[in-house]
Structure 1
Amino acid sequence: QVFCLFVAHFKISNNISSASGYWYYSPWVGRSGWLVRMEVRKVCLSWRTVRGLSSSSRPWRASPPVFRFSVADSALLYCRFSKPAPMFLDDSFRKWARIREFVPPFGIKGQDNLIKAILSVTKEYRLTPALDSLSCRRCIIVGNGGVLANKSLGSRIDDYDIVVRLNSAPVKGFEKDVGSKTTLRITYPEGAMQRPEQYERDSLFVLAGFKWQDFKWLKYIVYKERVSASDGFWKSVATRVPKEPPEIRILNPYFIQEAAFTLIGLPFNNGLMGRGNIPTLGSVAVTMALHGCDEVAVAGFGYDMSTPNAPLHYYETVRMAAIKESWTHNIQREKEFLRKLVKARVITDLTSGI
C-alpha cells in the first residue's frame, strides 16, 4: 500500500524557507499572477516508511525513509494551470467549455459529429487499467532529437511506467538509445507511421488533431474506410493503422491550447492557427504529462541552432537547419518554457538538450 504526501516549499524574499504538508494548487500568487516561487513535491512513501515516521517524536530525524518514488509534481510555476484535464476525449467532451469554443487545433468546435462517431466505436477513453491504478505514475516523453544518439539510455527509458513517443520516430534498430517500450504514440495524420509493421503491439495510438481533416482521417481509420490522399493533408498520410478501435484515443486538445497560450505564451490570433502559434508535439506531450503523471522526464528534446549541420533527428540525416523553415512553431519560446520547467525541477531532462 502506498501513501502520498504533498509537501510545498515556499521561498520567501528574505530567504527564509517554510514547509507545509498537504498543500496542492495553492492560491498564493504574486501581484503579476505568478506563484511566489513555490515548489511542490509529491512524495510517495511505503507503508513501512509512514509507520516509521508516525512512531517518531521527531519524524524527519528518524532513520532515512525508504521512498518508493520522489516526485516533482506540477506546473505550479503557472497560476492558471488547470487541474482537471482528462488525458483523452471521452463521451462527455461537449461539456468542456474550454475546448468547445475553439476550432482545431485549440478545440473541437465544428467537430462534434466526427468525434462522436469515433468515440462510439473506440469506447475506451482512459489509459489501461493497470496504469490507471498506479499510485505514482512515472512518465517519460521521448523526443526525436539527434541528441539521443549514442547515449545508451534505452534501459533507463524503458524503466518508466509510461513511455510516450511522437509521430513516426522508430524504435526497431535504435533500442540501445531509445528503448523498446512504447505506451502511447501521439501523432497526427502526416506524422503517423505509414507501414503497419512499424507499430508497436502493446501501445495506444493517440491522435493529436491540429485541423478538422485530422478527425475525418481518424474516422476513416477507425471505420476502416478508404482514406483519400487529397483530403487537405500537406503530405502523404497513413491509409491504415494496425490498431483495433479500443486501442485508439483522441488527445484532449486543451493541452494544445494550454501549451500555446498559457504556458509558452504564443500569439493568440483570435484562437486560430497562425504563424508561430502552434506548439510542437513535444511541448504538447509535456503539458499532457504535467496533468496526468506524478513524475515527468524528457529525452531527445532540444534544438541547438548554433550547430546547423548536426542531425535534427536520431534516425535520419536531416540537419538542424531544417527546423528554421517551420512557420508554425516558435522554437525559442518553447525552449524558454522547457528550460523553466527543468530549472524548477518540475521535469527531468535525461539528455540535457534543453
Structure 2
Amino acid sequence: MFFFYHCLAIIKSSVSEGHSEVEKVEGEARVLKPEMETVLSVGRVVGSVYDKQGFLLKLDGKLPTELIYKYGNLSEGACKPGYAAAKMTAIYPKFVKPAPMFLDQNFKKLGKINNYLPPFGVKTQERIIDVILATTKNYGLSPYLDSLSCKRCVIVGNGGVLANKSLGSRINDYDVVVRLNEAPVSGFEKDVGSKTTLRITYPEGAIQKPEHYEKDSLFVFSAFKPLDFKWLRQMVFKEKLHGTEGFWKSVAHYVPRKPEEMRILNPYFIQEAAFQFIGLPLNNGLMGKGNIPTLGTVAITMALHNCDEVAVAGFGYDMNTPHAPLHYYEAVKMSAIKESWTHNISKEKEFLRKLVRAKVITDLTSGI
C-alpha cells in the first residue's frame, strides 16, 4: 500500500504544477493526460480509454446519462438544441463548440487561425480579407436561419451512393442544406433534393458555367493557398480574371453572386479536422502530402460547431465495388479513383465512422 500512496502523492504533486488532472476512483489514482489515460494501482497499469486523437475507444449510440435527462423526453422528430455538440463532447472531451462559421471583421482576434498560412489559417492574407469583408458586409447565414433556436443541417456529398435512393424530399426538410463544389442539382432532384442553402468551394472546384448556379444560395469560399484569395477578390469585385498560374486546373472566370451573397469559410475547420480529428501530419503548418482533409469532412466539422443536429448523405467510397459510380452525376466508376497526394482517405473514413457509430451525425445513405 505504501507504493500506491507514494504514487498518488507524486501524481498529486504533478497536478499542483498544472501537468494533469487526477480523480480517485475505487482505490485507484486515475491520471488524465491530453493524449492518454493511465490508471495506477498496486502493480497494475490499465490502458487508455481514449485513442491517440482523444476519442473514446468504445463508441456506441447510447446517450450518456446527463444527455438522457436533457433529450430523452423530447417528442420524436423534434429538433434537439445543442445535440451534435453534446454528443461530440461526450466522445471527444476536448471539443469546444464556439467557432464562427464564416469570417467576419473580427477575424484577427481568432488566435487559432492567425498563426497559420492557408489552408489552415489566414496568415499573410489579412489585408486582402479585410478588403473582401468590407465589401461582402454580411457574415451569417441569413437573418431567419441565424435566429433559429435549433438548426438541422445536412451535408450532401457527391458520392455515387446517393443515386437511386430517392432522398430528395428528406434532404429538403433540413433547415440548412450544404453542397460541395460543382455537384449539380438540376436533373437529380429526386435523389439529392432541390434546396441549397450554401455551396462550399475553392477556385478549382467552383461551378464554371454561370447558368449552372442555383438562384438563391450562398457562395462559400474555402482557401487552400494564398492565390485563392486573389481569385476571390476578383470574383467579388467582378474583375477580369488574371494571374491564373498556380491553379492545378481551370477555374471559374465569373461567379453570379452579389458580394453580400459571398462568405469566407473559417479556416479553423480545416485545421481542426486535419490535426485534431483525423490526426494528419502537421508538416510545420504547411500544406503537404496527405495532410489536407476533404471538403466534405471540413463541412461536417463546420456543422458540428454551428448546427444542433447534423446529417450527411452521399459520403463514402467503397473500393470493393470498382464498377459502382464514383459520383451520382456521372458515369465514372469507383475504379477511377487514385491515391490522393493531399488526402488520406482511409484515416478520414476512420474519423467519420467514429461520428456515425456514436450517432454524433446521421448517415442517410449508409456509405460511411
- In which range does the TM-score fall when normalised by the shorter chain? 0.7 to 0.9
- For 1:162 and 1:229, the matched residues in 2 are separated by 35
**Stretch of structure 1 that moved more, 29-38 or 105-114:** 29-38
Does the 8 Å contact 1:188/1:214 carry over to 2?
A: yes
Task: Measure the CA separation in 2 of the matches of 1:41 and 1:113.
Answer: 44
Would you say 1:99 and 2:113 are equivalent positions?
yes
* Aligned equivalents of 1:346, 1:307: Cα separation in 2: 27
Distance 1:42 1:245, change over 3 A: farther
Query: Paired residue for 1:108?
Result: 122
Task: Give the Å deviation of 1:148.
Answer: 0.2
- My pick for the range that moved more, 307-316 or 118-127, is 307-316
Aligned counterparts of 2:76 and 2:194: Cα–Cα separation in 1: 29
In structure 1, the residue matched to 2:143 is 129
**Equivalent position of 2:305 in the other structure:** 291
Give the residue type in structure 2 aligned to 1:83: K
The answer as to 2:149 corresponding to 1:139 is: no
CA distance in 1 between partners of 2:320 and 2:76 (Å):
44
Residue in structure 1 matching 2:333, options 306, 319, 324: 319
- Corresponding residue number in structure 1 for 2:175: 161
User: Equivalent residue for 2:320?
Assistant: 306
Counterpart of 1:313 in 2: which secondary structure?
coil
The 1:35–1:145 alpha-carbon spacing in structure 2 relative to 1, beyond 3 Å, is closer
Give the AA of the match of 2:79: F
One-letter code aligned to 1:212: P
Alpha-carbon distance between aligned partners in 2 of 1:260 and 1:224, rounded to the nearest angstrom = 33
Whole-Å separation in 1 of the counterparts to 2:345 and 2:220: 24
SS at match of 1:163: strand
Amino acid at match of 2:260: P
Is the 8 Å Cα contact of residues 78 and 263 (structure 1) preserved in structure 2?
Answer: no
Of 55, 76, 79, which aligns to 1:69? 79
The within-5 A match list for 1:1-354 is 30=37, 34=54, 39=64, 41=67, 65=75, 68-70=78-80, 72-74=83-85, 75-76=88-89, 77-228=91-242, 230-354=244-368
- Deviation for aligned residue 1:255: 0.1
Q: Deviations over 1:106-126 (max 9, x none)?
A: 000110111111101001111
Contact 1:310/1:320 (<8 A) preserved: yes
Alpha-carbon contact 1:302-1:335 (below 8 Å) kept? yes
Structure 2 unpaired stretches of 5+: 1-24, 27-33, 39-47
Using the TM superposition, give the Cα deviation of residue 95 of structure 1 relative to its aligned residue in structure 2, in angstroms: 1.3
Residues 264 and 221 of structure 1, relative CA distance in 2, 3 Å threshold: same
1:189 and 1:237 in contact (8 A); partners too: yes
Q: Aligned in 2, Cα 1:94/1:304: closer, same or farther, shift over 3 Å?
A: same
CA deviation after TM superposition for structure 1 residue 66, in Å? 6.6
Would the aligned equivalents of 2:153 and 2:309 in 1 still touch at CA under 8 Å? yes
State the distance in 1 between where 2:70 and 2:77 align: 7
Query: Runs (4+) of structure 1 moved beyond 3 Å?
Result: 29-45, 64-67
Partner Cα separation in structure 1 for residue 277 and residue 151 of structure 2: 22
| Structure with greater proportional strand content | 1
Cα deviation for residue 319 of structure 1 reads 2.0
Moved more, 275-284 or 80-89: 80-89
Asked if 2 retains the 8 angstrom alpha-carbon contact of 1:278 and 1:328, the reply is yes
Per the TM alignment, residue 218 of structure 1 is displaced from its structure 2 partner at its CA by: 0.4
Residue 242 of structure 1 deviates from its aligned partner by 0.5
The structural deviation recorded for 1:44 is: 8.6
Q: In 1, distance between residues paired with 2:334 and 2:99?
A: 34
* 8 Å CA contact retained: 1:44, 1:68: no
Amino acid across the alignment from 2:84: D
Distance 1:231 1:322 in 2: 27
Larger Rg: 2
SS in 2 for 1:140: strand
Instruction: State the Cα distance separating 1:320 from its structure 2 match.
Output: 1.6
Q: Distance in 2 between matches of 1:67 and 1:171?
A: 26
Q: How far does residue 326 in structure 1 lie from its aligned partner after superposition?
A: 1.6
TM-score by length of 1: 0.83
Aligned counterparts of 1:255 and 1:243: Cα–Cα separation in 2? 24
The alpha-carbon distance between structure 1 residues 65 and 220, as it changes in their structure 2 partners (threshold 3 A), is: closer
- 1:83-108 Cα offsets, whole Å, 9 max, x none, are 22000000011111100000010000
Give the whole-Å Cα distance in 1 for the aligned partners of 2:67 and 2:289: 37
Q: Is the 8 A contact 1:41 1:70 kept in 2?
A: no
- Quote the offset at 1:335 in angstroms: 0.5
Counterpart of 1:91, as a letter, is: Q
SS at match of 1:69: coil
Deviation, structure 1 residue 65: 4.8
Structure 1 residue 67: Cα displacement: 6.2
8 Å CA contact 1:229–1:236 kept in 2: the answer is: no
- Percent identical: 66
Query: For 1:246 and 1:231, how far apart are their aligned partners in 2?
Result: 28
